[in-house]
Structure 1
Amino acid sequence: MKAAVVSGFGESPRYADAPEPVASGADEVVVDVLASALSPRVRSQAAGSHYTSTNDLPLVPGIDGVGRLPDGTLAYFLMPDTNHGAMAERTAIDLRRAVPLPEGADPIQLAAAMNPAMASWVALKQRVTFEHGQSVLVLGATGSAGHAAVEVANRLGASEIVAVGRGGDRMQDLRKHGASRIIDLNETSDTVARNLAQAGSEIDIVIDFLWGEPTSKALYAIIPNRARDEQALTWIQIGSAAGLESPIPAAALRAANLRIIGSGQGSVPLRAYRQEIEALAQEIHAGAFTTATRRVPLRDVEQAWADTSSTERIVIVP
């Protein structure tokens, strides 16, 4: 069969022959892949830089997708840590990591929207007890996952959503999707600190896709300016677009009711994760969340991989 094949970390995958997948175990089946999205998470997988990377080559990238099961059922699936990913004509999936989709569901939109929305959806549904009317600050709101987090928080009933990121028009566009306040990190450091202090004074939850220096600066700005020290502030670390490490001021953990947790693979039981992706898939099918997409044939994966400036989510279609 044909697949996107990565032969060296840091190299673009090439359209090449790959071994046919083989199902092993009672819960595995081989599916015909219909769509698989090219996300930052997939790029880190192919670069060998994600914390789940096995460092084994060659590999077929792709961490999730939409496929057709042997019985004809349409399904969204998540891949385990494997070198035989979803960017191929066929792949072997674990049915415990798959959810059925309604006939007529759009494979392209499901493949595009599930991964970015899943990060914040699972975080708010499983890692915290999110209550209708709580306020949310999204740190890194102009990335695809950050944009989706604004929509997810709005859908789940947040009373206020503060979008923090870079990018002028892209930032303003977030107002259409539920953001009540915008903080542009491209402004002067004093202005950013002042805006974060004001916006964070009574915020309940921070969803952090940046980490690194922006997180440290945000904590320095927000913690001393909390309206009530006893009010809980839950900081959910999801992504590390700005750095794998972030210096956390020691006083932040003592001066306020701050809790820092992570959300990602391993932090949520598989059964609960599957429950949430099934609910999210239904929301996307119903039109609750949409993602601008660009459909790319599998044979053109190398050229698509080189396009890092597109604001559309590239979806690879065999």
Structure 2
Amino acid sequence: MKAARVSSWGSPPEYMSVPDLPPPSPTELQLKVLAVGVPRVVQARAAQKHSSASNAQLPFDPSIDGVGLDEASGELYFINPLAAPLFAERANVDRSQLMKLEPGTDPITVAALANPVSSSWMALRCRALGGCKGRTVLIVGATSVSGRAAAIVARMLGAKRVIGVSRNENTLAAVEGLDDRVLLQDGPTLSKSVGPVHILLDYVGGAAAVDLLRTAEVQPGENLQYISVGSLSGQKNSMLRLLPEGLIDMRPICIMGSGMGSFSKQDLLREMPELVRAIMKMKSPFDIRTASLAEVRSVWDSDEVKSKRLVVVPNS
């Protein structure tokens, strides 16, 4: 069987032959792998810079989730995160980690959007106190892949207003689904026109969030909920160290993160059916580049992939 595996931490996966899979157990299905997304977390796992890969051994499959086909029944399934190694032609997957997809579902779209959509979906559904319906959601890092998806998700989940924050004026202007845009500059502040902010989704991390927490208008009787969902700045959790003394005493700020551990695997399994249905209703907010297993090494760090979402199509 052909597969792609990381042979050296920090290097792209290499195309190779691996032993054929054993027959699936009674609790498993053997699926033909159709599409596997490559979000930032997969690249971080390939570099052993993500907690889920901290004890992994080489050669290593850094994949997270994807879409597979049961050739016996013709049914498509979404494969839940970390259920099986998926940079391969086939995978044995426990049936409890599979979600049946509707006929006609596009595997590539699901694989491309599952991770970026789930980041904001789980944050707003499982972490935000009281959800986001009727509230204002401010997205820091709105021009990122996940930030663009978050603007759509917030709207789908009933947010009253969606505000995008970024450093790049031109790319921010192109983000769809925003009611207002805030350009990040030195010491960013929010104008009165933004109004009260209820939920701040932060995909960047670092000092910018502190300035926004200081200046955001808070609705009386409500918390300003800060949810960390990323660290594009490379300064993971530094926002906590940069908080001015007394700020959380002077303002009704609620600080939390969103990820496996802050929500449970059961939460994820419960949300996945509706999340996937939402994916199938939305227009992709970014371009998608597909690659075969044999191409993974050459496209992994390419300039083209940096501006698009890479999806591996093992059986192409």
Deviations 1:167-192 (A, max 9, x none): 33321111xx221111222x4x14xx
For 1:210, the equivalent position in structure 2 comes to 204
Change (3 A) 1:229 1:12: same
The letter for the 2-side match of 1:111 is A
Aligned length: 306
Residues in 1 aligned to 2:150 and 2:91: alpha-carbon distance in whole angstroms? 29
Residues in 2 aligned to 1:295 and 1:232: alpha-carbon distance in whole angstroms? 42
Change (3 A) 1:24 1:209: farther
Give the conservation status (yes or no) of the 8 Å contact 1:284–1:290.
no
Change (3 A) 1:46 1:182: same
Give the conservation status (yes or no) of the 8 Å contact 1:135–1:204.
yes
Deviation at 1:61, TM superposition (A): 1.9
> Alignment partner for residue 311 of structure 1, among 294, 303, 307?
307
Deviation at 1:221, TM superposition (A): 3.7
Residues in 2 aligned to 1:24 and 1:257: alpha-carbon distance in whole angstroms? 52
Deviation at 1:26, TM superposition (A): 5.3
Q: In the TM superposition, what are the counterparts of 1:112-131 in structure 2 within 5 Å?
A: 112-128=112-128, 129-131=130-132
Q: In the TM superposition, what are the counterparts of 1:101-250 in structure 2 within 5 Å?
A: 101-128=101-128, 129-174=130-175, 177-185=176-184, 187=185, 189-190=186-187, 193-194=188-189, 196=190, 198=192, 202-222=196-216, 226-228=217-219, 230-242=221-233, 243-246=235-238, 247=241, 248-250=243-245
Residues in 2 aligned to 1:96 and 1:250: alpha-carbon distance in whole angstroms? 47
Flag as ranges the 4+ runs of structure 1 deviating above 6 A.
none
Change (3 A) 1:77 1:23: farther
What's the C-alpha RMSD, in Å, of the aligned pairs? Answer: 2.3
Identity %: 30
Residues in 2 aligned to 1:263 and 1:272: alpha-carbon distance in whole angstroms? 12
Residues in 2 aligned to 1:26 and 1:200: alpha-carbon distance in whole angstroms? 56
Give the conservation status (yes or no) of the 8 Å contact 1:154–1:161.
yes
Deviations 1:205-242 (A, max 9, x none): 011111123323333443xxx35564311111111221
For 2:94, the equivalent position in structure 1 comes to 94
- Name the TM-score, length of structure 2 as normaliser: 0.88
Give the conservation status (yes or no) of the 8 Å contact 2:163–2:181.
yes
- Name the TM-score, length of structure 1 as normaliser: 0.88
Give the conservation status (yes or no) of the 8 Å contact 2:69–2:75.
yes
Change (3 A) 1:217 1:300: same
Residues in 1 aligned to 2:99 and 2:286: alpha-carbon distance in whole angstroms? 20
For 1:58, the equivalent position in structure 2 comes to 59
Give the conservation status (yes or no) of the 8 Å contact 2:132–2:199.
no
Deviations 1:223-263 (A, max 9, x none): xxx35564311111111221123123332211111111111
Deviation at 1:71, TM superposition (A): 3.5
Deviates further, 243-252 or 149-158: 243-252
Give the conservation status (yes or no) of the 8 Å contact 1:5–1:15.
yes
SS of equivalent residue, structure 2 residue 143: coil
Deviates further, 25-34 or 44-53: 25-34
SS of equivalent residue, structure 1 residue 108: helix
Deviation at 1:122, TM superposition (A): 1.3
Q: Structure 2: which 5+ residue stretches go unaligned?
A: none
Residues in 1 aligned to 2:8 and 2:80: alpha-carbon distance in whole angstroms? 24
Change (3 A) 1:217 1:97: farther
Deviates further, 54-63 or 3-12: 54-63
Deviation at 1:317, TM superposition (A): 0.6
Q: Structure 1: which 5+ residue stretches go unaligned?
A: none
